Amino acid sequence: METAARQTPSLRILIVHDELNIRKTLAVCLEAEGHAVVAVSNGPDALAEASRQSFDLALVDLRLGTASGLDLIPALLAGSPWLKIVVITAYASVETAVEAVRRGATDYLPKPFTPAQVNLVVRKVSDLRTLEQRLEDLQQTLGREHPEVQFDSASAAMQQAMSLAREVAATDATVLITGENGTGKSLLARAIHAWSGRAQKPFAVVSCSSLPADLLESELFGHARGAFTGAVKENTGRVFACDGGTLLFDEIGDLPLALQPKLMRFAQDRQYERVGESATRRADVRIIAATNVDLELAVKEGRFREDLLYRLDVIRISIPPLRARLDDLPGLANGMLAAFGAQNHKRFPGFTDEALNVMKRYSWPGNVRELRNVVERAAILCKSEGVGPDHLSDKVVPSLELPQLGDPLTLEQMEELHIRRVLASTSSLDEAAAILGIDPATLWRKRRKYGI
């Protein structure tokens, strides 16, 4: 039992009970297990604490003086939908348990209870929160559909970047990730979070280029109800929701100049105010920023604050473009091909050597993201086993056209190109053989000869 308790991840717990001795006893019991505890005696104080900081679990007494703990459940959940609430009471009955669950409680604990019973309930909640967070992370990852995630590399520059990322992940240092569009900056940021001690806490992304300054401030720090036209309900903001976790500022170079001082303050002392409120709040959030912009040049041009750059540029990780690590291309391309093939209920042995050579000659201005799109297209359109140059987009293979009579090609080269085109446009070997006017066995031998 003690081993299991020590393995339980630390939770932020709110105790709401009108009896001082019980509040103290619960707080001592839970703090001894490594949890962070805040204890209050009534509903208004509980709501005030929940508005200032994020909690994982609330232990709520059914009777709070003349008030009912049941009425507090929906009010707490309105501001913190992820919160798990356990109702504790000496008035145990099936009816109150059902009503507590109906209003949103997770569990029900009757008095008198022992420390072991309390710890058991907390472990159940901890396991539930862990599963929810893992499911959310999995859904986000699947939603992006990035089969190209591969951090092993033959490139010295990429190896250095990955080594630095793994080393800094164990700290809470602010990280600035630089690189061209499509190099995988956001994926590396997510990996740093997954390798860190914050892995079980939220990871969120703020796109600095998608919204004007006023709306971006509301998205980031939240706003009070009625703070501006259209603010019909309270917004807690990304910072509040990400408390304890990691927040990625994607394309930080596009952050509006008017918002940069507020981010500077938050990056420095983790303090902020919601739009329309004067109360200062705090949040324990790790900051990772990513950009494809030359921030030093942006500072010289007056588009980016120098002090903010210094605050963000604690650890800089630069991801090289794909054209600078072409030795990684075969592994990346074949890994993506297998993933997209599975999605489309196909199985491919891989790209042909000819196709890989063609891909290596391309400059890949869109980097790994562009490679992903090219491979996905090939996996969808290819109707044969071998994925060759014919299945690549014209942008990657601009010169690959059917030869004309009289072109300086041998008969063998003409035959290979024609067979490749026919195979790419048919759904079976038998169909291709019929079009070519040869039997399937002959076609099989020619495919083997040409490596198709």
Residue 72 belongs to a domain with what CATH number? Answer: 3.40.50.2300
Q: Are 227 and 291 found together in one domain?
A: yes
DSSP three-state, residue 226: coil
pTM of the predicted structure, to 2 decimals: 0.60
Q: Is the pLDDT reported for residue 2 higher than 50?
A: no
Q: Is the pLDDT reported for residue 290 higher than 60?
A: yes
Distance CA 278, CA 281 (A): 9
Domain containing residue 12: 2-131
Q: Which pLDDT score is estimated for 203?
A: 92
Residues forming a β-bridge with 110: 89
Pairing of strands 57-61, 63-64: unpaired
The phi and psi torsions of 395 (rounded to 5 degrees) equal -65, -40
Distance CA 366, CA 13 (A): 46
* Residues 282 and 238: beta-carbon distance below 8 Å: no
Q: Are 124 and 224 found together in one domain?
A: no
Half-sphere exposure of 189 (CA within 13 A, CB side): 29
Instruction: Report, as an integer, the average pLDDT of 73-99.
Output: 81
Q: Is the pLDDT reported for residue 126 higher than 80?
A: yes
Q: Is the pLDDT reported for residue 229 higher than 80?
A: no
Instruction: Report, as an integer, the average pLDDT of 275-302.
Output: 92
The angle, 0 to 180 degrees and rounded to 10, between the axes of the packed helices 115-144 and 20-32 is 60
Q: Are 116 and 179 found together in one domain?
A: no
Q: Are 314 and 342 found together in one domain?
A: no
Task: Look at residues 243, 270, 289, 312 and name the one whose alpha carbon lies nearest to residue 54.
Answer: 243
Q: Which pLDDT score is estimated for 222?
A: 86
* 295/409: higher pLDDT: 295
Q: Which DSSP string do the residues of 29-97 spell out, in sequence order? A: HHHHTT-EEEEESSHHHHHHHHHHS--SEEEEESEETTEEHHHHHHHHHHH-TT-EEEEEESS--HHHH
Q: Is the pLDDT reported for residue 389 higher than 70?
A: yes
Q: Are 333 and 389 found together in one domain?
A: yes
Q: Which pLDDT score is estimated for 4?
A: 39
- Does residue 137 belong to any structural domain of this protein? no
CATH number of the domain enclosing 328: 1.10.8.60
Q: Are 259 and 297 found together in one domain?
A: yes
- Tally the domains of the chain: 4
- Does residue 159 belong to any structural domain of this protein? yes
pLDDT digits (tens, 9 = 90+) for 299-342: 999 999 999 999 999 999 999 999 989 989 998 999 888 888 87
- Does residue 413 belong to any structural domain of this protein? yes
DSSP three-state, residue 223: strand
Q: Which pLDDT score is estimated for 167?
A: 94
Average pLDDT of the chain, as a whole number? 84
Q: Which pLDDT score is estimated for 6?
A: 40
Q: Is the pLDDT reported for residue 404 higher than 90?
A: no
What is the band of 95 on the pLDDT scale with cuts at 50, 70, 90?
confident
